[in-house]
Structure 1
Amino acid sequence: MKYPLIAAGICLAGMVHAETPVLKVYTYDSFVSEWGPGPQIEAAFEETCRCDLQFVSAGDGAALLARVQLEGARSDADIVLGLDTNLMAAASETGLFAEHGQTADFDLPIAWEDATFLPYDWGYFAFVYDKETVSNPPESFSELAESDLQVVIQDPRSSTPGLGLLMWVKHAHGDQAAEVWQGLSDNVLTVTKGWSEAYGMFVEGEADMVLSYTTSPAYHLIAEEDDSKAAALFEEGHYLQVEVAAKLANSDQPELADQFLSFMQTDGFQSVIPTTNWMYPANEPEGGLPKGFETLIQPETALLTAPEDAPTVRDAALEEWLTALSR
């Protein structure tokens, strides 16, 4: 008589599991890594949502949009987390994303009123170096080009930092951007598909500098108690990145997606960002930023191309980059 009871119990457990709603969030590789924010955010959100939050790694930031475009309305994603202002216009043109309906104030260097995309963190792009091996870091793109330093950068066609670098050079140097890239071409050791590969090469000592963020040294200082890493402060200013999330119009879980976007603005999400994603949170937590962030460089000039202008600027900048690096 035990076997029917056991079978009934298994059946009931299966039914309960099947009724648990699943929210799928496409994001970039480092977000879902064991040291990234994904695991902590998943645990915190599942405590309140009575759901199964599943982060799906889809390459680096720019690769997210390409995947969603390829899948179209058939995508299993409910939310895409990891686009930025340089990709927002292109994402909007797909017609795949829905308005979020959220109201919130953000701790950002810029005003935010977009109806589709919600910010969750921000930072400035920078070249990170080891103070023990680079004693005289460059203070501009021209000084970098004149040096013998070898840098690792990311591909702008698949990586948001890579695209951010193109926009940085173009915004800072305008019509002279092509010449800047010609000068930098000898300094580029290699171009990786994403940020994780590039930063890994840097920490292994394979390059003098790596394209990353002004906040990256905070990881080494706080997590590793290592103050040997720093970000070079450039006189041209630094390009601002605001990372965003948005829900898919064809989501199977629109209410749950809205719940996640609301949760994204709370301390349960935002307090995790500084010491896992190593960026500034879009809403500063009640306890403020962790000790160590006060040591980071602060760019005097913030550079940013308006989201609606980014696609046109990107096309010109990409052509200049490809031409310079192919020579």
Structure 2
Amino acid sequence: MKHLVLATGCLLASQAAAQTPVLNVYTYDSFDSDWGPGPQIEQAFEAQCACDLVFTPAGDGAALLSKLRLEGARSKADVVLGLDTALMAQARATGLFAPAQVSADYALPLAWTDDTFVPFDWGYFAFVGNADGPKPHSFRELAASDAKIVIEDPRSSTPGLGLLLWVQKAYGDEAPEIWKALSDNIVTVTPGWSEAYGMFLEGEADLVLSYTTSPAYHVIAEDDDSKVALPFEEGNYMQVEVAAMTAHAPQPDLARQFLAFLVSDKAQSILPETNWMYPAVKPATPLPAAFDQIVPADKALLMSPEEAEAARAPALDAWRSALAR
């Protein structure tokens, strides 16, 4: 009799598990880390969706698109979370994404009308260092200094690609010259942001390519005000991070529900102090003072998705040529 009860219980549990839909979301490593927004986003969404939200980390932002392109229509991903405006044109051209028709009252520094890519946070790239360390305020000043920097690979990382476009936007035809001048400052190029920031924290570089909001993490989470982000005279390049539903999503209804949740007050309130970026929609709770903006509006640099795609290949060639040793 005990065996029959046990077998019946196992059968019912298996049937319940089989009836729970699974939403697969591809994202970047730091989003799904213990200290990132992933765990809180998962808990909050599962409380309303009657589903199992599964995050699959796949390196850094640009690596997500590469993974999806390799898998094609066979991918199990319902949503890809962590692309940005620099990758949108390339992502759209794959035909692997579908409109989700999600909109919100965005608090972005630019108008947003795209019906496929849903912005969930944004920020400005910056070199981050120690308050008592070197503080160059332009790329030329950085190249002329002895400061050692860690940057991310533009072929796998959205910050790395953002740096490429930042230099290109600021200097145009002079960008190859800037990269040649910077080559002696670069300690290493990492696959993604997590590796680069970790090296900086371990003292292996004076500066790391990160975000103007990165010091807010140290102030709020660690009560440490020793980290600073550097505004550059040329301006700082903007990043808007986006998520999108895949064209062959196994759970399209859940994918749309998740994207709508991502721009809800619940999710937007989680993101600032876990992903350490500005929310795409103004949350009901004001941001901490540590998020006060250090980049003036007239110093914000950005290429449209189409401009970024056109600039990417030649900028990458100049970068590779300069760093070849």
Aligned match of 2:203: 205
Aligned match of 1:114: 114
How far is the alpha carbon of 1:250 from its aligned partner?
0.6
Aligned match of 1:249: 247
Aligned match of 1:139: 137
Aligned match of 2:320: 322
How far is the alpha carbon of 1:115 from its aligned partner?
1.6
CA contact (8 A) 2:97 2:245 kept: yes
Aligned match of 2:10: 10
Query: Which structure 2 residue ranges, 5 or more long, are not aligned?
Result: none
Query: Which structure 1 residue ranges, 5 or more long, are not aligned?
Result: none
Question: Is 1:163 matched with 2:156?
Answer: no
Counterpart of 1:2, as a letter, is K
Aligned match of 1:187: 185
Cα deviation 1:129-150 (Å, max 9, x = unaligned): 101233xx11100000000000
Runs of 4+ in 1 over 3 A off after TM superposition: none
Aligned match of 2:97: 97
More deviation, 273-282/304-313: 304-313
Aligned match of 1:221: 219
Aligned match of 1:72: 72
How far is the alpha carbon of 1:9 from its aligned partner?
1.3
Q: How many residues in Structure 1 have an aligned counterpart in Structure 2?
A: 324
CA contact (8 A) 1:128 1:232 kept: yes
Aligned match of 2:232: 234
Aligned match of 1:291: 289
More deviation, 103-112/147-156: 103-112
Q: What CA distance in whole angstroms lies between the structure 1 residues aligned with 2:306 and 2:140?
A: 29
Counterpart of 1:92, as a letter, is R
Counterpart of 2:273, as a letter, is T
Q: What CA distance in whole angstroms lies between the structure 1 residues aligned with 2:40 and 2:180?
A: 43
Q: What CA distance in whole angstroms lies between the structure 2 residues aligned with 1:105 and 1:43?
A: 24
SS in 2 for 1:186: coil
Cα deviation 1:112-167 (Å, max 9, x = unaligned): 01121000000000000101233xx1110000000000000000000000000000
SS in 1 for 2:25: strand
CA contact (8 A) 1:122 1:243 kept: yes
Cα deviation 1:53-110 (Å, max 9, x = unaligned): 0000011000000000000000010000000000000000100100011232200000
Q: What CA distance in whole angstroms lies between the structure 2 residues aligned with 1:30 and 1:178?
A: 31
Q: TM-score, normalised by structure 2?
A: 0.98
CA contact (8 A) 1:218 1:293 kept: yes
Counterpart of 1:116, as a letter, is T
Cα deviation 1:248-304 (Å, max 9, x = unaligned): 11111000000001101112111111111000000121011123212x522441111
Aligned match of 2:35: 35
Q: What CA distance in whole angstroms lies between the structure 2 residues aligned with 1:143 and 1:252?
A: 51
Pairwise mapping of residues 42-61 of structure 1 onto structure 2 (< 5 A)?
A: 42-61=42-61
Aligned match of 2:259: 261
Aligned match of 1:275: 273
CA contact (8 A) 2:235 2:295 kept: no
Q: What CA distance in whole angstroms lies between the structure 1 residues aligned with 2:44 and 2:105?
A: 22
Aligned match of 1:152: 150
CA contact (8 A) 2:236 2:295 kept: no
**Percent of aligned positions with the same letter in both sequences?**
63
Q: What CA distance in whole angstroms lies between the structure 1 residues aligned with 2:15 and 2:289?
A: 47
SS in 2 for 1:69: helix
CA contact (8 A) 1:274 1:290 kept: no
How far is the alpha carbon of 1:233 from its aligned partner?
1.1
Counterpart of 2:313, as a letter, is D
